[in-house]
């Protein structure tokens, strides 16, 4: 019997995962946590075989909780989330997550992934695997700076270069310079593509 800890800040999601997993004869949910901090505490107390971890939660997020749990050796972490941006995936993997699944994963696949994670095998949802391979094959030359992302965030709001300049108290020429650099770093040729690429990579929040 594999012992599981379910971590998500939404009670309905936790209940759904518990119902799916407890239906399997060899899986048992022994605890639930609604935050990253609670997950760390419960993992240390319960020593589950696998922790099913959401990423974005208030306070200590899923990535930080994953890092603490894996460092302490109190359970293998399988990320189960709705987010599949490059940044989220890489942060979770770097924190020590054994696998990364999306919340639309069918029950049978989820159960098989839990069993694989318990064996120490890497489990990735197909879209996640594709993004990781793409990231390795086509690594970013240089990440946009904070100021460049601030400019791009204003562009995402629909502001013109002049309006962005007034909002950030910089000249329109400086705005153009920042945008040119962002285009080069993201490998795009226009404002719309830059915003779209930045959102897909987790550099800007979704609209």
pLDDT tens digits, 107-142: 999 999 999 999 999 999 888 877 776 665 555 557
Residue 177: pLDDT above 90? yes
Q: Rounded distance, CA 147 to CA 178, Å?
A: 8
Whether residue 152 contacts residue 192, with contact meaning beta carbons closer than 8 Å, is answered with no
- pLDDT tens for 41-66 read 999 999 999 999 999 898 899 999 99
Helix, strand or coil, per DSSP, at residue 52: strand
- Whether 15 has a pLDDT exceeding 90, the answer reads yes
Percent of the chain with pLDDT over 90: 72
In terms of Cα–Cα distance, which of 169, 188, 170 is closest to 180? Answer: 188
Residues of the chain with CATH 3.40.50.2300: 2-137
Pick the CATH number of 146-200 from 1.10.340.30, 1.10.10.10, 3.60.21.70, 3.30.200.20: 1.10.10.10
Question: What residues does CATH 1.10.10.10 cover in the chain?
Answer: 146-200
Q: Which segment of 44-58, 69-83, 99-113, 140-154 scores lowest on mean pLDDT?
A: 140-154
pLDDT category at 31 given cuts 50, 70, 90 is very high
Q: Which residue has the tokens 């694989």?
A: 116
- Residue 94: pLDDT band (50, 70, 90) is confident
The overall average pLDDT reported for the chain is: 91
The arithmetic mean of pLDDT across residues 140-168, rounded, is: 90
Weakest-pLDDT range from 97-101, 124-128, 129-133, 184-188: 129-133
Q: What is the pTM of this model?
A: 0.66
For 30, phi then psi, to 5°, come to -100, -5
Which residues have a Cβ under 8 Å from the Cβ of 82 and sit 6 or more positions away?
Answer: 102, 103
Q: How much is the average pLDDT of 83-101?
A: 85
pLDDT range class, residue 179, cuts 50, 70, 90:
very high
Task: With beta carbons less than 8 A apart as the criterion, state whether 98 and 77 touch.
Answer: yes
Q: What are phi and psi of 200, to 5 degrees?
A: -65, -30
Distance CA 112, CA 155 (A): 43
Please tell me the distance from the alpha carbon of residue 116 to that of residue 14, in angstroms, as a whole number.
Answer: 21
Partners of 51 in the beta sheet? 5, 77
Average pLDDT rounded to a whole number, residues 168-174: 94
Whether residue 73 is predicted with pLDDT greater than 70 in this model: the reply is: yes
Q: What dotted CATH number matches 2-137?
A: 3.40.50.2300
């Amino acid at each position: 019997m594999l012992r599981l800890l379910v971590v998500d800040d939404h009670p309905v999601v936790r209940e759904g995962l518990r119902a799916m997993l407890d239906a399997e004869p060899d899986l048992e949910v022994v605890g639930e946590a609604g935050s990253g901090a609670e997950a760390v505490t419960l993992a240390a107390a319960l020593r589950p075989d696998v922790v099913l971890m959401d990423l974005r939660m208030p306070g200590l997020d899923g990535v930080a909780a994953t890092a603490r749990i894996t460092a302490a050796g109190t359970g293998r972490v399988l990320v189960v989330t709705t987010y599949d941006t490059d940044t989220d995936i890489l942060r979770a993997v770097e924190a020590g997550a054994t696998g990364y699944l999306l919340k639309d994963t069918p029950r049978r696949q989820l159960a098989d992934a839990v069993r694989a994670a318990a064996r120490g095998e890497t489990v990735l949802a197909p879209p996640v695997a594709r993004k990781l391979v793409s990231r390795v094959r086509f690594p970013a030359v240089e990440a946009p700076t904070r100021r460049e992302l601030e400019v791009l965030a204003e562009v995402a709001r629909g502001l013109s270069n002049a309006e962005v300049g007034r909002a950030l108290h910089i000249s329109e020429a400086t705005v153009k310079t920042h945008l040119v650099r962002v285009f080069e770093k993201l490998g795009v040729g226009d404002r719309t593509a830059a915003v779209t690429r930045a959102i897909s990579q987790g550099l800007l929040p979704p609209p």
